[in-house]
Structure 1
Amino acid sequence: MTEIRGILLAAGAGQRFGGHKLLHPLPSGELVGVAAAHNLVTALPNTLAIVRPDDVRLAERFEALGLSVLENALVEQGMGRSLAIGIGASADAAGWVVALADMPWIAPETIRSVVQALVQGAAIAAPAFQGRRGHPVGFGRQWGDRLQALQGDHGARHLLQAHANELILLPTEDPGVLLDIDQQGDLKGGGATAD
């Protein structure tokens, strides 16, 4: 068993955005997906990213940051498939922190708090801003088989709902845990509220 691993889900189509949102610049000039990857790898150097097979530019950017990159050749099977690929490739991990590449405003300190909760024995941990669960979500090693069996577009949402009593919420002052980018207008307004 090794340390906690980071998994960045970056294989979505970005259809509501109307283009490749992860390569779109934020007002700061940093690219959406690169900003999310940078924050995750800053907190968790041992991180891998799951991308679409044709997404060479994004893969190169992630590799330049030090992430290991895997392709999801079955992207039509949704986010669950990407997560399953990441878990399968890091099955010896002590746990996983799962982040979304369209959430570029999560502070590394917030991610570290999720890692710390897992290290201290939490089964599932996530930050909460003003009482609302946000991202990233940490899963202990005991969830590996169930995460690796995921398919569909809901990722691990059903696991979180079914095992809400095992979820430890970590209060944070970081609003980035709730903000994702779905449409172009979200770039200016600080993001939309993530599901």
Structure 2
Amino acid sequence: MAERESTRCDAVILAAGAGRRFGGRKLLAPFEGRPLLAGALDAAFAAPARRVLLVTDGDLDLAKIARDHAGSLGRGDDLDIVVAIDAAEGMGSSLRTAVDALPPDSDGVFVFLGDMPRLQPALAQDLVRSLTPDVDAVAPRFAGRRGHPVLFGRACFPALRTLGGDVGAREILAAMGDRLALIDNSDAGVLFDVDRPEDLA
């Protein structure tokens, strides 16, 4: 199991988007020899989290890839597939669904994006060390820009449960001020995502 279980953190991978700019089924596309989703799965399972919740729109192929991948890591029992029935609304509704599905004793949640395949496995460990009593959320920063994943403390859960549409948690983070800790990172993978087929190259 992951380290620091006393923190009672869990991890979420948002994977319910339609991938319209990509042309659909983005997370199944091959990236560096394996499905694009695999990078986010690796990062999430490397996090100090008890469980990984994959939020989908009901895509059975995506769920199978995730289950097979979790099994190959010896973590098959630590994966939950959560279907966002309002996935068409956008990322906000998927994140709301994810927070609603967390175990009731969860103290924090890492939020990974399924289309970000180059996150370093050690990154989540750096984030959890910065989730102190005077901090509500932690995110990496590269070249002055906030990246992913974001670790939300329990104090953020009520606001996350009100989300809808395609905005995600951007406004919640913007309103935090000093209660959002930004951790400088030397790896551009915290910003790299795949939106269009040409990004796979």
TM-score scaled by length of structure 1: 0.89
Q: Quote the residue 2:33 is aligned against.
A: 29
- The AA in structure 1 aligned to 2:117 is P
> Counterpart in 1 of 2:84?
72
Give the match for residue 157 of structure 2. Answer: 144
Alignment of 1:156-175 (within 5 A): 156-175=169-188
5+ residue gaps, structure 2: 1-5, 71-75
Aligned-partner residue type, residue 182 of structure 1: D
- Residue in structure 1 matched with residue 66 of structure 2 by the alignment: 62
The separation in 1 between residues aligned to 2:194 and 2:82, in whole angstroms, is 22
Higher deviation after alignment, 93-102 or 58-67: 58-67
Q: Distance in 2 between matches of 1:45 and 1:5?
A: 5
Amino acid in the other structure paired with 2:22:
F
CA contact 2:17–2:88 (8 Å) conserved in 1: no
The percentage of aligned residue pairs carrying the same residue is: 39
Partner in structure 1 of residue 12 of structure 2: 7
1:160 Cα deviation after fit: 0.9
Distance in 2 of aligned mates of 1:5 and 1:148: 16
Task: Find the residue that maps to 1:85 and give its secondary structure.
Answer: helix
- Could you tell me which amino acid in structure 1 is paired with residue 9 of structure 2? I
Q: How many residues align?
A: 185
How do 1:36-185 and structure 2 match up within 5 A?
36-43=40-47, 44-53=49-58, 55-64=59-68, 65=70, 66=76, 67-90=79-102, 91-118=104-131, 120-121=132-133, 122-185=135-198
* Letter of the 1:37 counterpart: L
Q: Is the 8 A contact 1:62 1:68 kept in 2?
A: no
Counterpart secondary structure, 2:106: coil
Question: 2 CA distance for matches of 1:128 and 1:181?
Answer: 19
The alignment partner of 2:122 has SS state of helix
The CA distance in 2 between the partners of 1:63 and 1:86, in whole Å, is: 18
Q: SS of 1:138's equivalent?
A: strand
Structure 1 unpaired stretches of 5+: 189-195
CA contact (8 A) 1:2 1:92 kept: no
Taking the aligned partners of 1:82 and 1:68, their CA distance within structure 2 comes to 14
Distance in 2 (alpha carbons) for counterparts of 1:30 and 1:184: 15
Q: Report the AA paired with residue 41 of structure 1.
A: F
Query: Over the residues paired in the alignment, what is the CA RMSD in angstroms?
Result: 1.5
CA distance in 1, matches of 2:24, 2:154: 36
Report the alpha carbon displacement of residue 153 of structure 1 after superposing the two structures with TM: 0.3
Report if the CA contact (8 A) 1:97-1:114 is conserved. Answer: no
**Cα shift readout 1:85-117 (whole Å, capped 9, x = no counterpart):** 111111421011111000010111112212222
Paired with 1:111 and 1:187, the residues of 2 have a C-alpha distance of 24
1:29 Cα deviation from its structure 2 partner: 0.5
Shift of 1:69: 0.7
